[in-house]
Every structure is written in C-alpha cells, then in structure tokens.
A and B are shown apart, each in its own frame.
Chain A
Amino acid sequence: MPVSIQFRQALGKLVLPALILVACGVILLGKADRPLIGKLRMQTADLLAPAYGLVAWPQAKLRWLSGNLQDIRNLEAENIRLRAENVSLRHWYDVAAALADENAALKSNLHWIPDNAPAFVTGRVVRDTSGLYARAVLLAINPDTAVRKGGIALDGSGLVGRVTEVGKRSVRVLLITDSSSRLPVTLESSHAAAIMAGDNTALPRIIFYPQDNVPIEGERVVTNGEIESLPAGLPVGHVHYLRPGQPVVVPAAALDHIDILRIFDYEDSVSPPDAPGRVPLPNVGRTMSLPSQFQSHPDQGLHG
C-alpha cells in the first residue's frame, strides 16, 4: 500500500514515544507479575549456564595455580606453623575423643533421639548475579537433582543463603547479605534471640536483640530453629561492633568468593504436631431443628 511521505514521517516520529510507553508497561508488568519475569530470566540463565561454567573454569584453575605458587613460597613458615598446630590439635583430638565417648554414654543413658541426617546436593557457582540492588549467586546443578525452593545453602564454614528460584539446570541462591534477607539467629554466649538483616553490604546487621542482653563482641552466631526449613545451630558467623550500638555479623562463609555450595533440604526435619494445646470442645448433642417451612433443601437456598 503506497503511503505518503508525510504520513511515513509522522509514523516514524511516533515510534520512539510508543516504545517508551511500552517500556513503562514492561516496568509495571515486572512489578505486577514477578514470576513471569523471573521465569524468563531463569530460562535464559539455564541456556547460558554451560557457557558461564566454561568462563568460570579457567579462573578456578588460575586461582588454584596462583594459590599453589604462593604456598610453595612460604612452605617453610607454613611447616613450622603446622607442626605447632598439629601438637595442639593432637591434644584437642584426645579431648574430643574422650568427650565423644562420654557424650555417647550419656545419650544412651538418656534415650536420646538422634537427628535426621539431611539430604544435600553440591554445585558449582557459575555466576554472581549480584547487582546494584541484590546479592545472589547462580548455581549449576544436575537436571535430575531435586532442589526445592527454600533449600539452605552452606559452604565449608557457614551459612550462605537460601534458594529463591529453581530452574532446570540452575538455581538462584539469595545470600544472607541481600537487603531482603531476614533470618532468626541465636547469639551463642548471651543466649539472646535476634534477627540478622542483610543490607547489601558485606556485614549483615543484628536487629531486634533484647536491650537488657546486648550481643557480646566476638560471640558466635548460629541459626535459630524458629522457621521450619532452617534448623537450629547452623554456624553463621560472629558478632562484631562497627561502632558502639551497631552490632553486625561477620559471616563465617567466604561470601565474596563463593566457589562450591551445598544445598541442604531440611524441609521435613521438624514439624510441630497438629494444633498443640487445643482443648477439644464438649459434644453439644443435637442442635435445635428449624420449622419445616424454613428448612433448606440441599439443591436450593433458604429462599428457594
């Protein structure tokens, strides 16, 4: 169809405003239908996960190599340190063995119920999706492994985060430092319960601690069994005061350089029994019957 030049020019001028309007629509859509956008992103990340793995592999090798070279350089000092540490560890090993024996004996006397061993899968971190507004990593997993939303991610030394999105070949783990992460924790020495709140910096804050029982500098922070999918006693880090009155957690996990993560499934570890403390109502007997003209028929309402 032939169109006049003026019409075509007018149409050309309208393209950009229309596209800007569509972009505003996309923003609204992203706010209204978060799962849709999340699904789209996870599918793209799934497609790109092998490529990201290829990029991450040489870096891991290089880091390993440079670490090795450094180790070789201070081998002598390391040896001396290790010998001293070994002596002390041997002593602690004896103590631990004695304590383990004692513990086993005591538990057998008390009819102790052992904890369930949780199931876990291990995966390599292929991408740090932390942006200006979030702290999260993407983990490559085998397509057949069953990782659920809400799984707990740990590295070798402590809690890292929770699984928020699950794709076919990758899962997204929201780190404890993200500004939307709030976890109930217990402070081990002062026995206070508190909330650890991430704020996109490396050190999550401790909030809602009891005012008469303030956190002690350097005490260990462990998880608290308040929420169902997170068991009590997982190591998180230790308390540090940035300035008086502002306690933060120094995470035990190396959050700035996460390599390999284990995702634990604690979903069915502890569930409360049904309706605790509920008093059953006494049986009232027969209720008063309505006169026949008010009795409702099963297929029509009271008013016919």
Chain B
Amino acid sequence: MKTFTPPPIRPGIHPRSGLGYRIDHGMRSSVPCLFVFFVALVLSAPLNLPGQVELMPAVIMATIFLWSVFVPVFMPSIAVFMLGIWVDILSFGPAGVMLLLMLIVHGVALSGRYTLARVNFFVLWFVFGVVMVGVTALQWVLCSALALHIVEFLPFVFETVLAFGSFPVLYTGFVWTYRFVVNNADPS
C-alpha cells in the first residue's frame, strides 16, 4: 500500500540536505545564542564604556525576550540555561541570580507568545518594560538578601531604563537577523 506523503507547503527547488547544508543551517539557527554569548564576552572586557555593567543584562534580556516570543525554536530553554551559567561566570555578582532572571524572562515570553507575537510593536515594548521592571526589582531583592544588606537601588533603575531604551534598536536588529540571516536557511 502506498503511504501518504503531504504535498510540500512551498513547492519549488529545495537545497540538498548534505553536510555543507547542515553546517550552514546549524550556524544560522545558532546566531541568536551566539549573539548572547558574545555580548556577554565583549561587555565583560575592559572597554571602559560608560554604563557597560548595566548594558549587559539589558541587551541580553531584550534579546532573549524577542527570540523567545517570535522564534522560540532558536532560543530553547536549555540554551538559555547554558547562557545564564556563562553570564554568571563572567559577571562577578551573586551566583545564579542572572541565570534565574534570564529563565524567568524566557518563561514569561514563552507563555505569552501567542498574544505577544501578534500585538503592535509599541504594546510589545511596553510589555517588555513591565517585565524588566519586575525582573530588576527581583534582582535587587535577591542581591540585597544574598549580601545581607540593602544594596544601592539607583544602578538597578538605570539598568531598567537602559533595557527599555535599547529595546527598539535590538528589535530592529532582531527583525533584520530573522529575515536575512536565519530565515534564509529555512527550507519550508
């Protein structure tokens, strides 16, 4: 008996799935994670940028949020976990806090993605801002609890504002990357 195969969704010429193609596809689909990896590495180097310490969590959170909302295939939970460990090793803060926050942002984005992926950009921006406020407040509480004294609040406010402000830039970067780097490799 002949088995039923569904017709291709987009008929046309398909690339051959050889080794070269697989490497290409793998590289393209690991771009989001590699981006976070290198952002953590570069922003921990002694560049003497103003606000460098606060910029790293801001950029990482926005990137994880965007990819988890729109293309969670390229930002799986386990990858977020690994990246969290990496960020934690590079930053000399209390161990595990950044890891937890990254997982929470990822989880929030995942659970709301069917709504968030359809809304207007400004609504998305606002939602991200709210998430960042919550996450940074949690970070402050955890840091204070682990250091056993109240740590200064202003750097955390700065971190939130920086994340909120850098979101549009990262969104543009995300759209560009998704269209021209990652999606080129999508065979379907």
**Which residues of A come within 8 Å of B, CB atoms?**
15-16, 19-20, 22-31, 37, 40-41, 44, 48, 51-52, 55-56, 59, 125-134, 136, 179, 200
User: Residue-by-residue, is B78-107 near A (CB-CB < 8 Å gives 1, otherwise 0)?
Assistant: 101100110011111111110110011011
- The answer to whether A41 and B78 have CB atoms under 8 Å apart is no
Measured between alpha carbons, how far is A4 from B45 in the docked complex, in Å?
47
Inter-chain contacts of A127 with B (CB < 8 A): 44-46
**Which residues of B come within 8 Å of A, CB atoms?**
41, 44-48, 53-54, 77-78, 80-81, 84-85, 88-97, 99-100, 103-104, 106-107, 110, 142-143, 146-147, 149, 151-152, 155-156, 159
Known contacts A131-B53, A132-B156; is-contact A26 B103 (Cβ 8 Å)? no
Known contacts A27-B142, A30-B94, A127-B45; is-contact A133 B100 (Cβ 8 Å)? no
8 more CB-based (< 8 A) A-B contacts, given A41-B92, A132-B93, A133-B151: A19-B80, A19-B103, A23-B96, A27-B94, A52-B46, A127-B46, A132-B53, A132-B143
Measured between alpha carbons, how far is A235 from B64 in the docked complex, in Å?
48
- Tell me, rounded to whole Å, the shortest Cβ–Cβ distance linking A69 to chain B: 19
Measured between alpha carbons, how far is A133 from B141 in the docked complex, in Å?
12
Measured between alpha carbons, how far is A163 from B146 in the docked complex, in Å?
22
Query: Which 4 A-B pairs give the minimum distances between C-beta atoms?
Result: A30-B95, A26-B96, A27-B96, A23-B100
B149's contact among A44, A126, A179, by CB below 8 Å, is which? A179
Measured between alpha carbons, how far is A19 from B96 in the docked complex, in Å?
12
Known contacts A131-B53, A132-B156; is-contact A15 B77 (Cβ 8 Å)? yes
B84's contact among A23, A25, A48, A125, by CB below 8 Å, is which? A23
27 CB contacts below 8 A, A to B, read A15-B77, A16-B77, A20-B103, A23-B81, A23-B99, A24-B96, A25-B96, A26-B88, A27-B100, A29-B95, A31-B94, A31-B95, A40-B89, A51-B45, A55-B47, A56-B46, A59-B46, A59-B47, A127-B44, A127-B46, A128-B46, A131-B53, A131-B93, A132-B93, A132-B143, A132-B151, A179-B149
Measured between alpha carbons, how far is A249 from B88 in the docked complex, in Å?
33
Inter-chain contacts of A56 with B (CB < 8 A): 46
Inter-chain contacts of B156 with A (CB < 8 A): 132
- The answer to whether A16 and B107 have CB atoms under 8 Å apart is yes
Inter-chain contacts of A59 with B (CB < 8 A): 46-48
Inter-chain contacts of B44 with A (CB < 8 A): 127
B92's contact among A55, A125, A131, by CB below 8 Å, is which? A131
B107's contact among A20, A131, A136, by CB below 8 Å, is which? A20
- Tell me, rounded to whole Å, the shortest Cβ–Cβ distance linking A173 to chain B: 12
| Nearest residue, chain A, Cβ from B81 | A19
> Interface SS of chain A: helix, strand, loop or mixed?
helix
A55's contact among B46, B104, B106, by CB below 8 Å, is which? B46
- Tell me, rounded to whole Å, the shortest Cβ–Cβ distance linking A29 to chain B: 7
- Tell me, rounded to whole Å, the shortest Cβ–Cβ distance linking B145 to chain A: 10
- Tell me, rounded to whole Å, the shortest Cβ–Cβ distance linking B48 to chain A: 7
Inter-chain contacts of A132 with B (CB < 8 A): 53-54, 93, 143, 151-152, 155-156, 159
Inter-chain contacts of A24 with B (CB < 8 A): 96, 100
Measured between alpha carbons, how far is A19 from B102 in the docked complex, in Å?
11
Inter-chain contacts of A44 with B (CB < 8 A): 89-90
- The answer to whether A19 and B77 have CB atoms under 8 Å apart is yes
| Nearest residue, chain B, Cβ from A30 | B95
Measured between alpha carbons, how far is A56 from B48 in the docked complex, in Å?
9
- Tell me, rounded to whole Å, the shortest Cβ–Cβ distance linking A56 to chain B: 5
- Tell me, rounded to whole Å, the shortest Cβ–Cβ distance linking B86 to chain A: 9
| Nearest residue, chain A, Cβ from B95 | A30
- Tell me, rounded to whole Å, the shortest Cβ–Cβ distance linking A10 to chain B: 15
- Tell me, rounded to whole Å, the shortest Cβ–Cβ distance linking A212 to chain B: 30
- Tell me, rounded to whole Å, the shortest Cβ–Cβ distance linking A174 to chain B: 11
